[in-house]
Amino acid sequence: MSLSARHDRFVALHAAGCFIMPNPWDMGTARMMAAMGAKALATSSAAHAFTLGRADLGGVTRDEALGHAQDILAATDLPVNGDFENGFGDTPDEVAETVRLAGEIGLSGCGIEDTRVAEGAPSYDFDLAVERIRAAVAGARALGRPFVLTARADGVMNGSYDLAEGIRRLQAFEAAGADCLYLPVPPGRAELEQVVSAVSAPVNALSAGPLRDLRLADFATLGVRRISTGSQVARVAHAAIRGCLGPMLVDGRFDALKTAAPGGEIDALLAAGRPAD
């Protein structure tokens, strides 16, 4: 599929219905997810950082994030969204430049958070947060082609402001032109419903915390358009590694290896997820 077709497809996915956008952390997991039916993919800043032996929030540079996104883009024919944290800079101009670079490498969209990557300053103040999204939107529009700009209000998740402030920010981000809105993670279903009801633009929900008890149909009923998984699939894999190696290295037991997927099955998924010739 051409990049142009991917971009059009990504926009169309946000126009109606509700879809799941899982987060791979390398080319292999991207191809597995594509083979298993994913309609779009997104990088995860945390999952990528884990592969480098680093923590999330400032653990990866912009150049590293862009290179990683290019790998995911090359792995499949699916549209790819970039998780670019705070845009790798505090100023609106730095955020706009990150969006421009995201578009140049072929991403169909990216997300920009309102979280500072600095200790003691978890969220930008309201006015600067809005100005940063306004600059991000301008950068996206300057690409001259479809690009879904997602504006994130992360303070509820990080504990730096309450739900009312998060909704106020989403409404301002929408007014600034953001194409998709994202508030991870509201305390529960009722709060997620408040978020969706407060805005008109498509809403991304993170299936985390209590929202993991909801099914796709539940999110769709609430009016959510897009569901992402963040670093959770990667952390499920990490939990499997821990559960396997713990008994092996502590007790000398190898029975956990019996749960390994057959190599031929993995090979088949990787082949099925490859881009078309």
Write out pLDDT tens, residues 34-82: 999 999 999 999 999 999 999 877 789 999 999 999 999 999 999 999 9
Write out pLDDT tens, residues 254-270: 999 999 999 999 999 99
What's the gap between Cα 166 and its chain centre? 18
Encode burial over 226-261: b for 16+ CB neighbours within 10 A, e otherwise. Answer: bbbbbbbbbbeeeeeeeebeeeeeeeeeeeeeeeee
pLDDT at 49: 94
Report the topology of domain 3-272: TIM Barrel (3.20.20)
Q: Are 195 and 170 in contact (CB under 8 A)?
A: yes
User: By C-alpha distance, which of 39, 37, 8 is closest to 21?
Assistant: 39
CA distance 8 to 93: 27
Task: Supply 98's token pair.
Answer: 């990150």
Residue 21 C-beta-side C-alpha neighbours within 13 Å: 29
pLDDT at 147: 98
Per-residue 3-state assignment (H helix, E strand, C coil) for 193-230: HHHHHHCCCCEEEECCHHHHHCCHHHHHHHCCCEEECC
Ordered DSSP codes for the chain: --HHHHHHHHHHHHHSS-EEE---SSHHHHHHHHHTT-S-EE--HHHHHHHTT--SSSSS-HHHHHHHHHHHHHH-SS-EEEE-TT-SSSSHHHHHHHHHHHHHTT-SEEEE-S--SSTT--S--HHHHHHHHHHHHHHHHTTSS--EEEEE--HHHHTSS-HHHHHHHHHHHHHTT-SEEE----SSHHHHHHHHHH-SS-EEEE--GGGGG--HHHHHHHT--EEE-TTHHHHHHHHHHHHHHHHHHHH---GGGGGPPPHHHHHHHHHHTSPP-
Low-confidence ranges of the chain (pLDDT < 50): none
CA distance 3 to 12: 14
pLDDT at 162: 97
pLDDT at 93: 98
Task: Supply 223's token pair.
Answer: 């009016």
State residue 263 phi and psi, 5-degree precision. Answer: -60, -35
CA distance 186 to 205: 9
